[in-house]
Amino acid sequence: MAYGERAELDPEIASTVDSDVVRTKPKTERLLSVDVLRGLTIAFMILVNNQPGPGAFFELQHAQWNGFTLTDLVFPTFLFLVGLSLVLSTAARLARGASRQTLFLHALRRSAVLALFGIVVNTFPFEHLDRIRFYGVLQRTAICYLVVSTLCLLRTGWKDKAAVAVTCLVVYWVLMRFVPVPGFGTPTHEIPINDPNANLTAWLDRLIFAPQHLYQQVRDPEGLLSTLPAVSTALYGVLAGMWLRTKRATAAKPMGLALAGASMGVAGLLWNYEFPINKKLWTSSYSLWAGGLSLLLLALAVYLIDVKRWGRSGLPADEAPAIYKPLMVFGTNSILAYMVSELLPVAVALIHTANGTVLRVYENWLRGLIPVRGWPELVFGLTVVAVTWAVVYPFYRKRIFLRV
What is the model's pLDDT at position 353?
Answer: 64
- Tell me the mean pLDDT in the region 93-106: 91
**In the predicted structure, residue 25 carries a pLDDT above the cut 50:** no
**Residue 58 CB coordination number (10 Å):** 10
CA distance 26 to 314: 23
Q: Between 2 and 78, name the one with better pLDDT.
A: 78
Give the gyration radius of the chain's Cα atoms.
21
What is the model's pLDDT at position 5?
Answer: 40
**In the predicted structure, residue 2 carries a pLDDT above the cut 60:** no
**In the predicted structure, residue 12 carries a pLDDT above the cut 90:** no
Q: Give pLDDT tens digits for 258-313.
A: 999 999 999 999 999 999 999 999 999 999 999 999 999 999 999 999 888 887 76
**In the predicted structure, residue 322 carries a pLDDT above the cut 90:** no
Distances (CA, A) of 118 to 46, 123, 316, 404: 15, 9, 38, 12
What is the model's pLDDT at position 385?
Answer: 96
Asked whether the beta carbons of 302 and 91 are under 8 A apart, the reply is: no
pLDDT band at 13 (very low <50, low <70, confident <90, very high): very low
pLDDT band at 82 (very low <50, low <70, confident <90, very high): very high
- Tell me the mean pLDDT in the region 324-333: 92
**In the predicted structure, residue 84 carries a pLDDT above the cut 70:** yes
Asked whether the beta carbons of 276 and 289 are under 8 A apart, the reply is: no
Q: Give pLDDT tens digits for 151-180.
A: 999 988 999 999 999 999 999 999 999 999
The lowest-confidence range among 106-120, 321-335, 365-379 is 365-379
**In the predicted structure, residue 19 carries a pLDDT above the cut 50:** no
Give the distance, in angstroms, between the CA of residue 224 and the centroid of all CA atoms in the same chain: 16
Helix (H, G, I), strand (E, B) or coil at 347: helix
If you ran DSSP here, which 8-state letter would residue 290 be given? H
pLDDT band at 28 (very low <50, low <70, confident <90, very high): very low
What is the model's pLDDT at position 365?
Answer: 64
Whole-prediction pTM: 0.89
Asked whether the beta carbons of 21 and 10 are under 8 A apart, the reply is: no
CA distance 65 to 277: 9
Average pLDDT over the chain, rounded to whole?
87
Asked whether the beta carbons of 6 and 332 are under 8 A apart, the reply is: yes
Domain ranges in the chain? 8-397
**In the predicted structure, residue 372 carries a pLDDT above the cut 90:** no
The letter for the amino acid at 41 is: T
